[in-house]
Amino acid sequence: MSILEKLKVRERLTYEDAIKLYDLELFELASLANKIREEKHGKKTYFNINRHINPTNICKDVCQFCAYSASRKNPNQYTMSHEEILDIVENSVKNDIKEVHIVSAHNPNTGLEWYLDIFKKIKEKYPQIHVKALTAAEVHFLSEEYNLTYEQIIEKMIESGVDSMPGGGAEIFDETVRKRICGGKVSSEQWLEIHKLWHKSGHQSNATMLFGHVESRENRIDHMLRLRDLQDETGGFNAFIPLVYQKENNYLKVKDFLTGQEILKTMAIARILLDNIPNIKAYWVTSTTKLALLAQEFGANDLDGTIEKESIQSAAGAKSANGIALENFVDLIKNSGFIPVERDSVYNEIKVW
């Protein structure tokens, strides 16, 4: 059966089929992905009103693509106190945020409590706020640093009030590429194991893929299929987020950067291949707002949120340091022909704007 016939009868695509999807003409791929998007979500595009907080940039690991962590290229080390973090949350709550997204570097100097107690403090003061925090890379780091199992760290996360896990740290699962771009941190198998345990504890998470650096198309397909397999088992992933590599101020030497076409093709392929992950997020921070809006026609049904402050990708050149104004975001979605729907962190609809 051809790929098109398989898609017509909703038969699952294999690795070999998926590689061939890249050979389809851009607009044919768009039409296939958009059909699935429309069946699942119509013209709705989800977003949330959120705040990103990155409490420390001191990191024991060295990822070649990272411009955020303190290093030779970024000598400005910082570690926030809990009071500073609570002040940020207090201000953001006034702006009607529904979620804080808290991700740190792997700082060996703070102690375990610094990482975990802040969630309890936020929840005590703002029980209505959803805490999305700790990537699988951080869970792995804390487990090694404090000699605790993943299950023990997860138990502590739940006790401290973490509601869901963000999708960071996945990068590219292929072991050879991973060794080259982020050898030393959480392995692919460990990343998947941590999300599996988190899902088994009754919680939800997201999954990212960092692409557009030294990986191949085959590596991207392999990455998506490993996620599809885990999702078959647990059903715990809310969203898949392809993150476009940003090139400034880091150590990775990349020869060719992605074209807009390749980015959009990858988004469309994610929508077609990941038949069991409900939401495909075009993260405007790394794709640029313009391409994220176009990605809505290539299968993406979520644009993340207003963010307020962004430190990881903006350190590497993204134009996202100060987030995006709510009215502007909503207008852009509307003007591109879609319906902006504010959602909570686990995709319950809050308001059609």
Count of Cβ atoms closer than 10 Å to residue 196 Cβ: 16
Rounded to a whole number of angstroms, the minimum distance from the CB of residue 238 to ligand V47 is: 8
The CA–CA distances, whole Å, from 50 to 9, 12, 21, 166, 330 equal 39, 35, 34, 13, 14
Q: Does 246 bind ligand V47 (CB under 6 A)?
A: yes
Ramachandran area for residue 93 (φ above 0: left; ψ -120 to 50: alpha; else beta) = alpha
Q: Closer to ligand V47 at the Cβ: 48 or 143?
A: 48
Q: Are 226 and 217 in contact (CB under 8 A)?
A: no
Q: Does 320 bind ligand V47 (CB under 6 A)?
A: no
Site string for ligand V47, 51-90 (x = CB under 6 A): --------------xxx-----------------------
Rounded to a whole number of angstroms, the minimum distance from the CB of residue 32 to ligand V47 is: 25
Q: Are 345 and 132 in contact (CB under 8 A)?
A: yes
Q: Closer to ligand V47 at the Cβ: 57 or 208?
A: 208
Q: Does 323 bind ligand V47 (CB under 6 A)?
A: no
Out of 85, 136, 312, 341, the only residue in the binding site for ligand V47 (CB under 6 A) is 312
Q: How far apart are CA 56 and CA 265, in angstroms?
A: 35
Size of the site for ligand V47 (CB under 6 A): 23
The CA–CA distances, whole Å, from 106 to 54, 103, 173, 230, 310 equal 11, 10, 20, 26, 18
Strands (E), the chain: 44-48, 50-53, 99-102, 130-133, 164-165, 204-211, 237-244, 279-280, 302-305, 339-343, 349-352
**Look-up: residue for tokens 């809050």?**
350
Q: How far apart are CA 179 and CA 202, in angstroms?
A: 31
Out of 69, 286, 287, 306, the only residue in the binding site for ligand V47 (CB under 6 A) is 286
Site string for ligand V47, 141-180 (x = CB under 6 A): -------------------------xxxx-x---------
For the segment 87-126, give every residue that binds ligand V47 (CB under 6 A): 103
Return the range that interacts with ligand V47 (CB under 6 A); candidates 24-32, 220-228, 241-249, 328-336. Answer: 241-249
Residue length, the chain?
353
Which residue has its beta carbon closest to ligand V47? Answer: 168
Which residues here bind ligand V47, judged by CB under 6 A? 65-67, 103, 166-169, 171, 206, 208, 210, 241, 243, 245-246, 250, 283, 286, 304, 312-313, 316
